Structure 1
C-alpha cells in the first residue's frame, strides 16, 4: 500500500511536469516541492520516498549540480572556522550516488545546539555560529556527553528525540545535546545529503572547542544519529581525535550504501561505532526500506534480520502510538505519523531509547544468518565473550573492540517495550526399551512464571515434527517476560500420523505416547549479561532441570494429554535409556503394527484396535 501511494505521487509529478511548458518546468517543480514542504510530516516523507526514482530528471531543474559527467571540476568549499570540504570523486558513483552537490551555506543550514541537563531538562539553545554561548548553559565538561542528531526532513522537536533525552537524563547525569539542522534537512534529499557534511563540521567544531576551552574529554562524547544523522555523526568523527563513540540508528541507504568509508559512517570515525539496522529492504531493489544493509560499524545489530519489524505491518499500531508515545497529544501525533509512513525506519531510535532503562538485556548474538539464529544455532558468546553484545546504550560493554563489521542478530517484540528474553529449551526423550523408533506430532510447553501465571510456547507451530526416542532436542525460545526463575512446566503432546506415510498410522499394538525423561530450561541472557562470559560451560548455565514429580525416570505423555514436570535434584540423575528387558516385545509390536498399517493402506481395511 505504501509503495502504491509513492508510485501515484511519482506519476502525478511526471505527468504534470511533462505537460507543463518547458520554460515553466523549473518554476512548477519549485512550487510543487514548496507545497509538499508545507504539508505535515506525511507529505514530506512521501516526497523523500519518491526522490530516488525521479533523480534522473532532477538535473534539468537544479543548476548547482557538480558531477563527473559534467564539465565542472570538483571544488573546495570553506566554512570559516569550521574548515573546508572537497566535493571530490569519492562522493560520486554512477549508480549509488549519481549527484555530487556542494552543500548549502552555513547560514542556510543554521545549526542550533540545545543543551539538556538534569538542572535544565527543557534545554537551552545555542546557535552554531555563536558556540561560545554554550558557557551560558548548564553544560558541565566533567560529565559524559550525549549528542543526538536527527535525520531527513526533521527538527530537534521530534518525539523520538524528546523521549531519548528524557530517558538518558533519568538514567544518568549526562549532558545531552540535541542538534537541529532543519535548515539543511528540509530540502531535496540529494541536497540534504550534501548538507550533512557541514553539520558534521559544526558538531566537530563544538566538541573541539569544548575540549580546547573547558577541558572536555572527547572520549567521553557519544554521538547518536538517526538516518542521515548517522552519517553526519561519521563526518563529525573524522574531525575529532579519539571521539569516544558513535551510534548509528538505521543509517540512510540512498547515496551512502556501498560508497567509500569517507562518504558514510565507518568504524574509523570513533573509538567504538555501533549500528542498529531496522529498515534494510533496499529501495533500489523495489523495496520500501530507507536504511542500509551494509555493515558499517564495529558492531552491526540486525533486529528481526534488520527488515520488517514486529507490529509495523498493522495500521492498528498508529492510534496506539499516538496515545502512548511522548508526553502530550502533540508528541503522540508526531510519532504516529512516523509510525504510519516509516515505522521500520523509526524503530531503531525506539529500540535504543527502550534499552536505556529496560531491565531486559537486549542480548544479540553473532551468526551467519537470522535463520540460523532463530534455530538456536548461535547462542554462544564465545570464549572471550565477543560473539554476543547488548543492543542499545550498553553496547559499549562489548569486549571485542579489536573487531569490526560484526553482525549480530536478535528478535524483538512489537512494543511498547521491545526487548525479549532468550531461553534454550532442551528436551530429553527416553528410550528405556531401546526401541529406537520415531514419533510424529505436535508439542506445546507451558512455563510457570514466578507470579504463578502460565506462559505458553508452541514448539511446532506450523507443522508436526518427528522425534526419535532416546534423543535430545534443542529449541530456542523468547518471551517479553523474564522466565529464568521458572521451575515447573506443562508438556502437551499430540500424536499426528503422516498422511503420506501409511506406516505412521497407529492401528494396534503401537505406542503413540511421548517418553519424556527431563526438560531443561536455560537462560541464555543470564550467561551473556551476568559478567561471567567465557567462564562457564554449557552445563553450568543458570538452568532448571525438570522431570517427573516423584522423580521417576520417564514421564509418559499420552497423545492429546498434558503432564506436569517439576525441577528437583533427582532430575540430574536420570538417564535416557535403561535395560532391554522388553526390547523384543516392543520390536515385535512395531513390526506387527507396521504390517497391519500397510494392509490397511493397500486394501482400505477398517481395523479397530481393541
Structure 2
C-alpha cells in the first residue's frame, strides 16, 4: 500500500512536469478530497512531500488579485498574513497556497459552561453574541482547537470539555474550522493561519466587550490546532498559556519559530509529543522541542497499546458518552493511535490521582536507566504532565526543559514510578562479576504481591557496587515494607568472562535494596514541602544479615527493618575498605553473617 501511494504521487509529479493540463490535475485533487476520512489521512501522510508544485491550483472561493495579494492576503478587521521566506523550504515546506476565504473556512465557536453544558454556537463574525450567554470574563477560559480533518465534535474535545467543567467552573470555547481542515493537507496548513487570526480576534473582542484578561486564557490545540494556537498567540500580547498536543510535523518540522508553535506565543507554552516517528513511518507529530516545557511520554515515539488493533473495539465501547463518539474515537485509534494519545493523556491527567510526574533528562534511555529521578534544588527538573504543568517551578524563567516519563496502555495511562538501589556485596576471595536478571515483587500491607516492571535487560553486577533501576506499576505501592527478589543467571555470548563452566559461582551476593517512590519525592519538592521522614525504605535480610547469597533461580524475601540501615552503613564502609590494604577487609571473611536464602514458595 505504501509503495503504491509513493508511486502514485511520483506519477502525478511526472505528469505535471510534462505539461498536462491543470484541468486533469484539478480532477485528481477533487477526487482525493472526496475520499473517506481514513483514506484521506493515509493519503495526507505522503501528500506534503509529493504534491506537485502547481501555482494554478488556487483554492476555490479565494478572492482574485495580483501576486502580492495572494502572498499576503488581508481579512477586514482580522489583519493580514505576511508570507516571508521563512514559510518556504525545498524539502520541509516545498509549496504554499493562500488560505481559503473567511466565508469558506467558516470558523464557529461553541461555548460550554456549567450552565450551558450542551453548548451555544456562534459564528466567528458574530462574537458579540457570546456576551449574551453564560460566558463570564471573570472565570478562566479554555479554547480548544482540533486538527486536520476533524471538527469540534471530535471525541477528544467533547471528553476534555466535560472533564474541565467537572474540575472547575470556567468557560470552554470549542473552535470548529472544519471548513478549512477537511481539505488536502497542504491547503489545511495554509488555512490554519487564517484560523489563528480568527481566534486572536475572538480574544481581543472579548477583551474589549467584557474585560476578559488574556492572561486567564489557555489555548489547547491538537496537531494542526497546536500551530493554529501559536498563530493566535503571537497576535495576543500577554496570552496566558498554550498547550500543544502532538503538534503536526509535515510543513512545520525544522522550520523557523514564526512558522510553527514556539515559546514566544504565550507566557507559558507546554507541549506533549506522542508521535515523533518520521512522516515516512506514518508518524504525524513534531519531534523538536517547541515550548518552554516539552513532554515526551515513552520517549515520544511508540505508545503502549498502539502496536495492536485489538484495542480498537475496546476504544469504541469505553470512550465517549455514546456509541457515535466511541466509533469516532475508534476510527482515530485505528489510523493514528499515537497521534491522538496526547489529548487522551491531557484529559486523563485532569482527575487522575496518579501524578503524571516527568523528569528532565538528556534522553529517554537515560531516564529508563534511573539516572534522572531528581527534581533538583529548585524543583525545576521535574514537572507534571497535563493540566497541572502550569505549576512547574521553572515556568517564570527563560529556560527550556525536555521531560520524560512512562505511561501505560489505558484507559488510565498514568504509572507510579519507583527507584530501586541495589547494593551488591563484596566477598573476599571471590573474583569476577555475574550477569543476569533481577525480578522484584512488592508485597503490600494486605499481603498482595505485585511485580514491579523494571526497564532493563540482562545486567552485569560487579561486587561492591550499587545499581539504580527505575520501575513502575499501575498501583500506588508506597506502603510496601517487604519485597521478593528473584535472581536468574544469564551468560553473555559477547563476554567470555560471564561464562560458567564447572565449579563457578553464579549466585548474586546481595546486601540490601533501597525502595522509594519517585512520584512521592517529586510531589514533595513540587509542593515545596519538606518531609521529616526518609524518602527511601531500606530492605535487607529479615534478621539484618550483611549479605544474602541468592542462587540462580531462587527467590528471597527482604523486609524493612531498623537493622537494614546498619547493613547499608556496613556496606558503605566495606566499599571504602575494599580500596585499602587487604588487612582492612579480612574481617568480613570471619563474619558468621553469610547466610543462604530461604526459598519462597507461592502462596506460603
Q: 2:84 aligns with which of 83, 88, 96?
A: 88
Matched, 1:410 2:405: yes
Matched, 1:476 2:473: no
Which residue matches 1:352? 346
Unaligned runs of 5+ in 1: 587-610
Which residue matches 2:189? 193
Which residue matches 1:550? 543
TM-score (norm 1): 0.87
Distance 1:469-1:534 versus aligned 2 partners, 3 A rule: farther
Q: Deviations over 1:118-172 (max 9, x none)?
A: 1111111111111111022211111111100001111001001111111111111
Matched, 1:281 2:271: no
Which residue matches 1:505? 500
C-alpha distance in 2 between matches for 1:279 and 1:313: 13
C-alpha distance in 1 between matches for 2:492 and 2:235: 65
Q: 1:309 aligns with which of 293, 303, 309?
A: 303
Q: 2:106 aligns with which of 106, 110, 126?
A: 110
Distance 1:210-1:557 versus aligned 2 partners, 3 A rule: same
- Contact 1:221–1:243 under 8 Å retained in 2: yes
C-alpha distance in 1 between matches for 2:534 and 2:250: 44
Name whichever of 417-426 and 75-84 sits farther off: 75-84
State the number of aligned residues: 574
SS at match of 1:86: coil
SS at match of 1:258: coil
Unaligned runs of 5+ in 2: 575-583, 593-604
Deviation (angstroms), 1:474: 1.0
Name whichever of 147-156 and 377-386 sits farther off: 377-386
RMSD: 3.0
- Contact 1:547–1:566 under 8 Å retained in 2: yes
Deviation (angstroms), 1:404: 4.1
C-alpha distance in 1 between matches for 2:373 and 2:114: 39
Q: 1:135 aligns with which of 131, 134, 138?
A: 131
Distance 1:503-1:562 versus aligned 2 partners, 3 A rule: closer
- Contact 1:484–1:523 under 8 Å retained in 2: yes
Q: 1:215 aligns with which of 211, 216, 220?
A: 211
TM-score (norm 2): 0.88
C-alpha distance in 2 between matches for 1:52 and 1:325: 31
Name whichever of 228-237 and 559-568 sits farther off: 559-568
- Structure 1 stretches of 4+ with a deviation exceeding 6 A read 11-21, 63-66, 533-537
Q: 2:435 aligns with which of 432, 436, 440?
A: 440
C-alpha distance in 1 between matches for 2:382 and 2:466: 25
SS at match of 1:530: helix
- Contact 1:384–1:534 under 8 Å retained in 2: no
Distance 1:138-1:145 versus aligned 2 partners, 3 A rule: same
Which residue matches 2:178? 182
Q: 2:321 aligns with which of 318, 327, 330?
A: 327
C-alpha distance in 2 between matches for 1:154 and 1:255: 18
Matched, 1:146 2:136: no
Deviation (angstroms), 1:363: 1.1
C-alpha distance in 2 between matches for 1:232 and 1:23: 31
Q: Deviations over 1:166-199 (max 9, x none)?
A: 1111111121110001111111222211111121
C-alpha distance in 2 between matches for 1:184 and 1:206: 18
Name whichever of 7-16 and 399-408 sits farther off: 7-16
Deviation (angstroms), 1:250: 0.8
Deviation (angstroms), 1:237: 0.8
Distance 1:415-1:195 versus aligned 2 partners, 3 A rule: same
